[in-house]
Homo-oligomer: A and B are copies of this chain.
């Protein structure tokens, strides 16, 4: 993944439309659209699906979360090494639906680094985007929780939070790439996000719950190409 290239990351959440075999099928369709347009697109399936998705497609695969603990006597937790061994390239950290304590965000980013996983740390405000950037993740995803799943795109509803995040994050750490998310559902939303200075988007229901995910993703990819 070239660092200068925009990146669209699709979070499968625990949607049944993207669970088990359907996670593999959806990932293949996403890979096809990604290749057709030459736009970088990644997927974040559920833990149990990471391995079969990673074995089926050649696009970046992310976990939705890792636990901030080393290997050992921990039951029911998600080890960075386990996610990596299953074929993941990276992981989301601190999604608003899986919020972490401050010290755990920092530790998760370090565990990701040590394991060779890219990290995308989510934050709900511009200030918190800057705070998590101090841990030097690969990417920050600014997602105002109140817009998630609404279809009202952050890049249009609240462009200030996006530009403010870009400014604040780059002030503390210019190497961090910035995604934005929440409510993204059209190519125009993606275009607006990139124009605001982000490096891509984080999207879930906008693709996973779409009547025609390929068509919507195609419009997203076209928006990326329009910007470039």
> A residues engaging B (CB < 8 A)?
11, 13-16, 19-21, 44, 46-52, 63-65, 69, 71-79, 81-83, 85-86, 92, 94-103, 105-106, 123-125, 127-128, 130-132, 134-135, 148-149, 172, 204-205
Most central of A16, A72, A73, A74 by chain B CB within 10 Å: A73
B92 and A99 form a contact (CB under 8 A):
no
Smallest CB gap from A65: residue in B: B76
Copies of this chain held together in the complex: 4
Beyond the given A74-B97, A127-B134, please list 19 additional residue pairs across the A-B interface where CB-CB is below 8 A: A11-B75, A13-B74, A14-B73, A14-B74, A14-B79, A19-B82, A48-B51, A48-B85, A51-B51, A51-B52, A63-B76, A73-B205, A75-B92, A75-B204, A76-B92, A96-B103, A127-B135, A131-B131, A131-B134
